Structure 1
Amino acid sequence: MESKEGIDALFLHATEGILVTNAEGLITRINPSAEKLFGYSPGELNGVKIEALVPSRFTHKHENNRANYVHHPHARAMGLGMELFGLKKDGSEFPVEISLSPYKTVEGTFVIAFIVDITLRKEAERNLRNYSEDLERQVKNRTLVLEEAIKELERTQKELDASLAKEKELNEMKSRFVSMASHEFRTPLTTMMSSLSLVSRYNERNDPENHAKHIRKIEKSIVNLTDILNDFLSVSKLEEGKVHNMPEEINLRQFLRDIDSEMQGMLGEKQHIDQYYSGEEEVLLDAKLLRNILFNLISNAIKFSPEESAIELHALVSEQAIAIWVKDHGIGISEEDQQHLFERFFRGGNATHIQGTGLGLNIVARYAELMDGNVTIESTQNKGTTVKLVIPR
């Protein structure tokens, strides 16, 4: 290989493209592999400027770089960190990798360029990059699908938890209803049975005073039973979404007078209702819902107030709101119990001996909500309670 023939064989039969340029950038020698690589016939590139093999957009830059390289020649890879392209005779481009090695002779400075077509490598890199990007997209899509599945599972879990909680609440309601009903129904029914038996005897003895007394007891027991049934009927309708707010034009002052008249039969001995009214009389309200609210509040005030006490019914109508409140001077509610008053079946610790379902205030609050209003309570134990309903106009 040290002979000229050996060196010529290495140059001519190398699979890499090899060409030699002089200081002016003219190709002085090129091997068959390089000629084939660029699509030229044997000898066609001899004496041609090297820029003929460079795409036109890089020609000016290549000339400057070549001039600089001639002044500071050293063996190196060409275009470090850059993508290099060769220009074929037919005008097509292809990616290349080039190494430069300078040498000097008596004829001047020359540069040997070793050129490798890296089209297949670039395609492989591009395919690998595309595969990687595709894989990343698939992973991202799968992750999104998984996240959606997890969210759906979480939603389902929340729905199941809510359903279980609802079912548990309903079961507790059923148990409490059975327990409460067995007690609350038994008392008035027992009273009625006893009074009916005594009514017959007092009638036979011609004792009108005791006869009337037990008739009143029977009437009161019937009212109590009706109240219990009404409470449960109201809860059932609210749960089923059958109760709606349907406002109508009413005379509120007259409406409250009518409520007063209807409640007279429930008043205890020497109890009375005092009314206080201020503001406009014609308002837009759901009369049925308001009637149920006031019946509940006034009947509570009657039940929890002593004989010979006043039940106050106030109404204040302004441009902004309608405020109605019921005030009594009865047993009141402890601070501890006040935070639970709107819970179903809750009864104050000082009211267990008084008949009731523990549903009234819960129903009142829900009716008020349907009317876009709210209910507040102020109470002091043994001094009385004020329940206030405020409905925006």
Structure 2
Amino acid sequence: MRHIEMLNALFKYATEGIVVVDGKGTIAMVNPTAKRLFDYKEEELVGNKIELLVPIPAAHHHVHLRDNYMKEPRARGMGHNRDLFGRKSDGTEFPVEVSLSPFSTSEGDFVVAFVVDITERKKHESDILAANSEIQKLNTELETRVEQRTRELAETLLKLEESQKEALRALEKERELNDMKSQFVTIASHEFRTPLATILSSASLIGRYVSREEDEKRQKHVQRIKSAVNNLTGILNDFLSIGKLEEGHMHSVPMQVDLPVFCLELLEEMKGICKIGQRIDYQHQGAAETWLDQHLVHNVLINLLSNAIKYSAQQTEIHLHTRVEDGNVFFTIKDQGIGIPVSDQPHVFNRFFRAHNAGNAQGTGLGLNIVKKYIDLMNGEISFESAPDTGTTFIVRLPTVSPTEA
């Protein structure tokens, strides 16, 4: 009797809803918690099918599941890997957790269903999922921001590195300019002194030759003055050219040129600086008309021919040969001068470099450096062959491109 009382109390006061169903799915008993969960009175439940408490869309399928279960009843939970819902008297659905236990009595087979309302748990789970989703979203945003900041930092570092390189280049350029200024002062003080002394001396002596018989002596000193002024002009032009090239103020501007006419006019200019008995032989092959930067080519040839004249003895022949072929113009300048020592040949295009055998011949060491830069501006090439006491041959190749082809 005592055991029956205890069982009744357990049934009555259990916090879980308890629904007892017979073998045909008819509700036989419900405890107070079950009535409260489903919002039914006891008489509204007892005698009705259990599908009354199942959501309408699932009720028909539930009959099939119940019949299968009753064929092999055993204690187990319901809704494995899927959500279960109960249906209240007003049709409202709520999430539940159900476990089943079969038992038999003298009146037949029964199943007791323990029902737990898990609305709060689901709410907490939903809140946790939402929080996790928000955390994941924040993490994704954080990763995106970190990646963005990393990229920005990398770009900033790259810009700083470029700025640093630019600053170093500027400092290096400044050092080069300072070195160039120092070398200019040194060279200018030496190179200017000789022609200035010549000019001063000849100008003083000219005043002494007043008679017509002394005209030859006067002309000799006038010629010395002209030569000295030309030397000074050449030195100044070299330094002006270097300045323009360094500042990027010079550009190649091709124009149509009659090459033989251009070269013959240039050779007329060179006659004034030729030594006694020196002669410049000119030959041309190929088409006469071509496209070149006349100003830059003029400066290149003047420089190369001046060197040929300067470093060749009297009574020697200098050759200038031009050739137009396969979209290129070739200039060959050959002399019979002192040549360039083999050890000096790798440095001939360096700024301020002068070969060891240059002796007292005037020069700044800038001429060939400027020539190389001019030829680079015209997308050309320069090469040479030389042997001491035999002579030097310079070969210049320039592409001939009209403005319409560029």
TM-score for both structures, normalised by structure 1: 0.79
Matches within 5 A, 1:1-393: 3-8=6-11, 11=14, 13=15, 41-42=39-40, 47-49=49-51, 52=54, 84=83, 103-106=101-104, 107=109, 112=114, 115=118, 116-117=121-122, 118-201=125-208, 207=214, 210-351=217-358, 353-393=360-400
Residues 1:28 and 1:354: Cα distance change in structure 2 (over 3 Å)? farther
Q: What do residues 31-82 of structure 1 show as CA deviations (whole Å, max 9, x unaligned)?
A: 8888988xx53378974459955997xx98xx89x979x97968689656xx
Shift of 1:200: 3.9
Q: Would you say the 8 A contact 2:286–2:324 is kept in 1?
A: yes
In 1, Cα distance between equivalents of 2:225 and 2:261: 31
Q: Distance in 2 between matches of 1:165 and 1:91?
A: 87
Task: Identify which range, 22-31 or 342-351, moves more after superposition.
Answer: 22-31
Instruction: Give the Å deviation of 1:214.
Output: 3.4
- Whether the aligned pair in 1 keeps the contact of 2:285 and 2:322 (CA below 8 Å) is yes
Distance 1:72 1:41, change over 3 A: closer
State the alpha-carbon separation in 2 of the partners of residues 339 and 102 from structure 1: 100
Post-superposition CA distance 1:143-170 (Å, at most 9, x none): 2222222222222212212221222221
Aligned CA RMSD, in angstroms, stands at 4.1
Q: Which runs of 5+ in 2 are unaligned?
A: 401-406
The residue type paired with residue 346 of structure 1 is F
1:352, 1:21 → 2: CA distance?
126
- Displacement of 1:365: 2.2
Identity of aligned residues (%): 39
Distance apart, 1:355 and its partner CA: 1.2
1:333 and 1:35 map into 2 onto residues whose CA distance is: 117
Pairs aligned (count): 379
Distance, in Å, in 1 between the alignment partners of 2:311 and 2:21 is 116
Distance 1:171 1:24 in 2: 109
Could you tell me how far apart the structure 1 residues matched to 2:187 and 2:25 are?
109
Aligned counterparts of 1:283 and 1:162: Cα–Cα separation in 2: 39
Report the 3-state secondary structure (helix = DSSP H, G, I; strand = E; otherwise coil) of the residue aligned with 2:396.
strand
Distance 1:340 1:91 in 2: 101
8 A Cα contact 2:312 2:337, kept in partner: yes
CA distance in 2, matches of 1:367, 1:134: 57
> What whole-Å deviation, never above 9, does each CA across 1:287-307 have from its counterpart, x for those lacking one?
222211111110011112222
Could you tell me whether the CA contact under 8 Å between 1:55 and 1:86 is conserved in 2? no
Highest Rg: 1 or 2? 2
Note the C-alpha offset of 1:97.
9.3
| Cα pair distance change 1:313/1:77, threshold 3 Å | farther
Q: Counterpart of 1:41 in structure 2: which amino acid?
A: D
Query: What is the DSSP-based 3-state SS (H/G/I as helix, E as strand, rest coil) of the residue aligned with 1:339?
Result: helix
CA gap of 1:277–1:105, structure 2 versus 1, over 3 A, is: same
Q: Structure 1: any 5+ residue segments left out of the alignment?
A: none
**What is the CA distance between 1:336 and its match in structure 2?**
3.8
Closer/same/farther in 2, CA of residues 302 and 9 from structure 1, 3 Å limit: farther
Aligned residue identity for 1:338: Q
